[in-house]
Structure 1
């Protein structure tokens, strides 16, 4: 690990002022410290943001405001989350061990970086680490890579379970800019597609600090989070789905679907939702939804199983939720 400076500001203003070229905010550090040990990330300065008073969950406009420093354990255990947003609690519990959840934070979870093995292998070329270097995944092992939102420069997956659940719940992210201005962005606005610059993963500018996440008022309907993985515990998703489905007079009413394990960011396709709304549940409808979702998939060799698995998981989830 390369030498670095460490600062622990007492308030958000001081934290923003400490952020400069080469500086990175650190919260739980469950991802960042590993990357620093491997010298994949080598910040000149770490700015500790764990003492800024951003560790509370409060009611906001019939929804919830979740401070960026709320740990994954506390968020999953909060009774309001368990009652009104159960898919979020289930996603968090599916995401990591209890020890990691005790340290990992809401803001940090949103910003965790891909677990692509070529990103972690400093002997491999990777456009996320070094723009323009190339991508070792092409022609290599593709099993744990994306099939949606990819480009010729990157096929790395977004790893977060929590972000997939929040995408289905229409969560918004509060950001305090370097100049002190506050703004709120959706998850689609937060995450970039890789395009020609896979190293630019979010729309955050240097010094931007995530201060919280806003969950809107819960909607009627059933909620579910399902995750398919190689082993039963503490593995990243091969495919996951976060679903909110409401029924009206035997037909599908409100519906929100987000997917993990298949996209370069938490994936949501509103065309699939529009196809389902107002329709009577049927196997033919579920099949058509899967085909719509996979319409623009880039299925490289070794990833064929993900297309089939995603369609089956979507059909099984919809079948259970509309019975």
Structure 2
């Protein structure tokens, strides 16, 4: 592990100054992803800025919705009675991820900043454009079973690992940040980026910016939602494909639909045109299949992960059926319903 210095910030402004003053500095809170990357010699921060003493660990009312502090742990978020009641899609997605021990430590802001998932990214002995720009992408012609089928580039086919972020994308959350130029709000759809020609950059955060909170809009999908996660084993595994669905239904008709995929791209994957296919319609398998086809336009496998395209198609139809029926996937009994 590369030597580093350490500072415990006493305010958000101090944390921003420390981050802005050293381009190699990284924020640390729960450390569930960053510390692993440091041990693997993938991340080499020259300075760690500890924000765990900042007052960012509360869930508070914000307009018609809620504001989640960046230091709220995944466990506290998933089990908060307001989240469980009004945003069960988010609670379900969090409980589908990691393990209880990790959820006890992982923070909301840290979850947003997880680095993308790829065997080669985590192995400094192999070429990886994300880790070392210009060195090549080992995954494209290598073992790529877990890799992306949407939004890929010649430079990178890694996938985003978060479950929580898939639900936040479907819920149209907004990320609040503070930086050297002041505060700004980033819609969840714009927070993570596709690899393009700069796969080393995962998000649209600017240098020196600190995540302070995530805002949830007015509740809409408590009665008709699901988070369906398909993986190699039922416990403590990343998604091969996951689907977050929220439907606002009135008199048997879908009024508003929100649909996001995980495990298939460099970021949670949403296509508003796919949601529009469902809106104003009665739920039906053929309509769900049309939405799935639109959501997967442009999907491409790289050999080992070709199966993900059909898996995603079937998962979308299944998840939409669960949400429409008001029978969300259980994260306790994880057998697919």
Band of TM-score, shorter chain: over 0.9
Flag as ranges the 4+ runs of structure 1 deviating above 3 A.
none
Count of aligned pairs: 322
Superposed CA offset, 1:231-259 (max 9, x none):
01110001111110122333221110111
Answer yes or no: is the 8 Å Cα contact 2:172–2:189 preserved in 1.
no
Answer yes or no: is the 8 Å Cα contact 1:85–1:223 preserved in 2.
no
Following the alignment from structure 1 to structure 2, what is the Cα–Cα distance between the partners of residues 273 and 49?
38
Q: How does 1:32-71 map to 2 (within 5 A)?
A: 32-71=34-73
Corresponding residue number in structure 1 for 2:331: none
1:2 aligns with 2:2: yes
Q: Secondary structure at the match of 1:315?
A: helix
Following the alignment from structure 1 to structure 2, what is the Cα–Cα distance between the partners of residues 224 and 321?
5
Q: Secondary structure at the match of 1:297?
A: coil
1:12 aligns with 2:12: yes
1:89 aligns with 2:91: yes
Corresponding residue number in structure 1 for 2:169: 167
Answer yes or no: is the 8 Å Cα contact 1:159–1:236 preserved in 2.
yes
Show structure 2 runs of 5+ residues with no match. 326-337
Q: Normalising by the residue count of structure 2, what TM-score does the alignment of the two structures yield?
A: 0.93
Following the alignment from structure 1 to structure 2, what is the Cα–Cα distance between the partners of residues 280 and 12?
48
Corresponding residue number in structure 2 for 1:144: 146
Following the alignment from structure 1 to structure 2, what is the Cα–Cα distance between the partners of residues 32 and 126?
18
Q: Secondary structure at the match of 1:120?
A: coil
- The structural deviation recorded for 1:316 is 1.2
Show structure 1 runs of 5+ residues with no match. none
Moved more, 216-225 or 128-137: 216-225
Corresponding residue number in structure 2 for 1:282: 284
Answer yes or no: is the 8 Å Cα contact 2:243–2:262 preserved in 1.
yes
1:116 aligns with 2:104: no
- The structural deviation recorded for 1:115 is 2.3
Corresponding residue number in structure 2 for 1:188: 189
- The structural deviation recorded for 1:321 is 2.5
Corresponding residue number in structure 2 for 1:25: 27
Corresponding residue number in structure 2 for 1:201: 202
Following the alignment from structure 1 to structure 2, what is the Cα–Cα distance between the partners of residues 321 and 192?
28
Following the alignment from structure 1 to structure 2, what is the Cα–Cα distance between the partners of residues 188 and 200?
16
- The structural deviation recorded for 1:280 is 2.4
Answer yes or no: is the 8 Å Cα contact 2:109–2:211 preserved in 1.
yes
* Superposition CA RMSD, Å: 1.1
- The structural deviation recorded for 1:281 is 2.3
- The structural deviation recorded for 1:25 is 0.9
Q: Normalising by the residue count of structure 1, what TM-score does the alignment of the two structures yield?
A: 0.97
Q: Secondary structure at the match of 2:30?
A: coil
Corresponding residue number in structure 1 for 2:78: 76
